[in-house]
């Protein structure tokens, strides 16, 4: 979204409804489609420009499969097996899906003539990019550029996971948010007195990590870390600051989400006639 706001770029967002079905994350394709449109609505509420944002939901834009078939000719089973670790007994849809993901990534260049494509991804999605870059080279296309995003830790300092209930969700209410934040892993001393005397470790404090990476600018972040290290601010105070920031952000998001209609979403969906 940063690049769209700063440079006015078109953004193509593939929502892999079919992969959710193939991987068993949902029971039916109908459920996958409902989830995909819900996610698209949330992305618009988050702030993507509806005039310059295009969602590729594969059940809607089925032309993506024609492109995937074309690209699949330049990738073989050995590459997919080595990259993803898929086994022969797994459904054939999963084995073919890397071609679909490559179609998502190369679509702006092949179908829209956009030569320079930047793909922000999480580290766990690197395999998709590597396959698509290989395929791009074999078709004489520009290889897409990559921007790796970093993983955020869960509030407990461990890997973020829904099953661990260590994440904040945009559907959470204020009471739930503050309860979760109050349990966040702290870098402070065992007691307030000890913390004031010896200070804490801001590098271990999850609340400080969230504040400095999501809400504060560089100057504010430096001051917070310094004050915490010198014991001028306690862990409880930091958690209160984070709770306030997240509550305000989530309330604003939920307010904007209510204003996004199904029609708004439909207007951003790629369709076969596009």
In this prediction, residue 274 carries a pLDDT of: 72
Q: Where in the chain is the domain with CATH 1.10.240.10?
A: 162-256
Q: Residues 85-106: what's their mean pLDDT?
A: 92
Residue found by looking up tokens 């509030």 in the block: 155
Is 235's pLDDT higher than 90? yes
Superfamily of domain 162-256: Tyrosyl-Transfer RNA Synthetase (1.10.240.10)
Q: How many helices (H) and strands (E) does the chain have?
A: 13, 4
Quick check: helix, strand or coil at residue 188?
A: coil
Provide φ and ψ at 154, rounded to 5°: -70, 170
Q: Assess contact for 231 and 188: CB atoms under 8 A.
A: no
In this prediction, residue 180 carries a pLDDT of: 96
Cα separation of 232 and 188, whole Å? 11
Q: CB count, 10 Å around CB of 84?
A: 16
In this prediction, residue 88 carries a pLDDT of: 86
Cα separation of 257 and 43, whole Å? 9
In this prediction, residue 85 carries a pLDDT of: 86
Residue from 188, 171, 162, 187 nearest 246 by CA: 171
pTM as predicted: 0.88
Is 164's pLDDT higher than 90? no
Structure tokens at 258: 């209510």
First to last CA, the chain: 23
Residue found by looking up tokens 């958690």 in the block: 239
Is 132's pLDDT higher than 90? yes
Q: Assess contact for 224 and 233: CB atoms under 8 A.
A: yes
Residue from 31, 37, 32, 28 nearest 56 by CA: 37
CATH of domain 2-153: 3.40.50.620
Residue from 160, 159, 165 nearest 180 by CA: 165
Q: Tell me: the pLDDT tens digits for 172-204?
A: 999 999 999 999 999 999 899 999 999 999 999
In sequence order, the 6+-apart residues with CB closer than 8 A to the CB of 173 are none
Q: Where in the chain is the domain with CATH 3.40.50.620?
A: 2-153
Q: Residues 226-247: what's their mean pLDDT?
A: 97
């Amino acid at each position: 979204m940063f690049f769209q706001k700063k440079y006015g770029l078109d953004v193509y967002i593939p929502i892999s409804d079919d992969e959710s079905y193939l991987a068993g994350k949902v029971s039916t394709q109908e459920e996958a489609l409902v989830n995909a449109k819900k996610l698209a609505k949330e992305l618009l509420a988050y702030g993507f420009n509806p005039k310059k944002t295009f969602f590729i939901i594969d059940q809607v834009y089925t032309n993506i499969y024609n492109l995937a078939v074309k690209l699949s000719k330049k990738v073989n089973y050995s590459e997919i097996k080595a990259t993803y670790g898929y086994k022969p007994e797994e459904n054939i849809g999963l084995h073919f899906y890397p071609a679909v993901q490559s179609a998502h990534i190369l679509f702006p260049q092949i179908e829209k003539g956009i030569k320079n494509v930047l793909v922000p991804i999480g580290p766990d999605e690197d395999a998709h990019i590597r396959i698509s870059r290989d395929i791009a080279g074999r078709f004489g296309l520009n290889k897409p550029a990559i921007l790796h995003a970093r993983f955020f830790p869960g509030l407990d300092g461990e890997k973020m996971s829904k099953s661990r209930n260590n994440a904040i969700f945009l559907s959470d209410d204020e009471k739930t948010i503050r309860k979760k934040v109050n349990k966040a892993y702290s870098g402070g001393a065992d007691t307030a007195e000890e913390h004031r005397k010896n200070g804490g470790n801001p590098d271990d404090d999850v609340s400080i990590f969230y504040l400095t990476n999501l809400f504060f600018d560089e100057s504010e972040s430096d001051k917070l870390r310094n004050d915490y290290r010198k014991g001028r601010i306690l862990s409880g105070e930091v958690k209160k600051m984070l709770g306030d920031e997240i509550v305000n952000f989530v309330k604003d998001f939920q307010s904007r989400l209510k204003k996004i209609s199904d029609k708004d979403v439909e207007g951003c969906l790629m369709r076969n006639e596009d």
